[in-house]
Amino acid sequence: MALEHLTQTSQTTELTFDYDLAIVGGGIVGATLACALKNSGLRIVLIEAQPPSVAVARKQAYALSLLSGRIFKGIGVWDKILPQITTYRQIRLSDADYRGIVQFHPTDLGTDALGYVGEHHPLLTSLYEFLGNCPNVTWLCPAEVVTVDYQSSGVEIEVVEKLPNVETLQVTSLRHRIRSRLIVAADGARSHIRTAAGISTKGWKYWQSCVTFRIKTEKPHNNTAFERFWPSGPMGVLPLSENRCQVVWTAPHAEAKALKELDENEFLALLEYRTGGLLGRLELESDRFIFPVQLMQSDRYTLHRLALIGDAAHCCHPVGGQGLNLGIRDAAALAQVLQNAHQLGEDIGDIRILKRYERWRKNENLVILAFTDFLDRMFSNEWLPLVMMRRLGLKMLRIIVPLKSLALRLMTGLLGHHPQLAGR
């Protein structure tokens, strides 16, 4: 069902609001925003197109930065998440077969860990369970937004809720008109809310796709995250529990397609070579999935009565595992701006309030987008001057302690303006 966008009307009468905030998209980022506002005093409706059982079933794992962990701790959900994910305490950065490997350790930061790897199911399930104890949050799920009418004092949203009938095995559609002060788009890179609002984006599709899958390793991964660069593209190997790893293998489109379709024994032999034999013999534990890669930055993160977070606002190359972490920071930053405004009696949907969030997050996200683009272009080629330059860069990372610390703080999210939820 196509989403219609209605332009702002001339209506000036004050709306009677059903909610203060409508979040469209109940994935990890949208759910994080709702969780972060548990004690805000704001009335929230969370609109998700998929049933919860489907939403949590996605077969994927994510790198979580130290800052993301601190945000979840500040929300109060970290104690539930942490036992179900893997903590990594080493990062091993290498360029193909070049021997000049850079290794990062917690002592480089003065922390106990360098990051985490979490599978989608326990992450989103933990957030949903937390939301079950948030009396200020209402679910409309599964439901789709049909129209959005931005008005001077609020926004009216038409939603179609799909109610399954267990006895007849049919689905009944129920239409709602919701009145809210603000709508937040957390509905992904192809955001219908963003598109309907007329917010344009800038960026490009890369010449590469990613093949992602899980493996079982013969040798222990020792809680090490590997980022190994090849001329065709970077390969990230993230440690999971029970001696498993999540692999994100980037290659040009045709090569990525061939890798997905390659005979399993040949594929594993090539993978063992690409991982330098460090993990021993490998077994495939999942199917191989493929997705294209893009860089995207929205021209605006906010309009009157509208804010974008997560992939609805920006997308980056998966090298370094930054994508989801940017969205989690967006959610924490927006939650802080909205809660502070609400406590001061300000209108949370006013563009002057929402600009505080945009000024905070847009430039910080742009730095990470540029950083991941630079890494991919610097390492995904065989031009000799660049090969020499990047290997000199790796050498400098090994021997110049402040430079190594700076790079690590950028990778772990510890640079920039931290939301209050993250503590110090």
Q: What is the pLDDT along the chain (424 residues), one digit of tens a residue?
A: 345 444 443 333 345 789 999 999 999 999 999 999 999 999 999 999 999 999 999 989 999 999 999 999 999 999 999 999 999 999 999 998 888 999 999 999 999 999 999 999 999 999 999 999 999 999 999 999 999 999 999 999 999 988 876 666 677 888 989 999 999 999 999 999 999 999 999 999 999 999 999 999 999 999 999 999 999 999 999 999 999 999 999 999 999 999 999 999 999 999 999 999 999 999 999 999 999 999 999 999 999 999 999 999 999 999 999 999 999 999 999 999 999 999 999 999 999 999 999 999 999 999 999 999 999 999 998 999 999 999 999 999 999 999 999 999 999 999 989 999 998 6
Rounded distance, CA 314 to CA 75, Å?
23
Rounded distance, CA 302 to CA 163, Å?
32
* Domain made up of 4-85+117-202+296-381: CATH architecture: 3-Layer(bba) Sandwich (3.50)
Structure confidence at residue 3 (pLDDT): 58
Structure confidence at residue 164 (pLDDT): 74
Q: Are 226 and 275 in contact (CB under 8 A)?
A: yes
Structure confidence at residue 10 (pLDDT): 34
Write b or e for each residue in 131-166: b if 16 or more Cβ atoms lie within 10 A of its Cβ, otherwise e.
beeeebbbbbbbbbbbebbbbebbbbbbbbbeeeee
Structure confidence at residue 31 (pLDDT): 98
* Domain made up of 206-293: CATH architecture: 2-Layer Sandwich (3.30)
Taking alpha carbons only, the member of 157, 178, 148 closest to residue 17 is 178
CA trace torsion 253, 254, 260, 265 (10° rounding) = -130
Q: How does DSSP classify residue 200?
A: -
Structure confidence at residue 173 (pLDDT): 87
What secondary structure, in 3-state letters, does 5-68 show? EECCCCCCCCCCCCEEEEEECCCHHHHHHHHHCCCCCCCEEEECCCCHHHHCCCCCEEEECHHH
From start to end of 267-360, where are the E strands? 282-284, 289-298, 302-303, 306-308, 314-315
All structural domains of the chain with their residue ranges: 4-85+117-202+296-381, 206-293
Rounded distance, CA 414 to CA 424, Å?
10
Structure confidence at residue 97 (pLDDT): 85
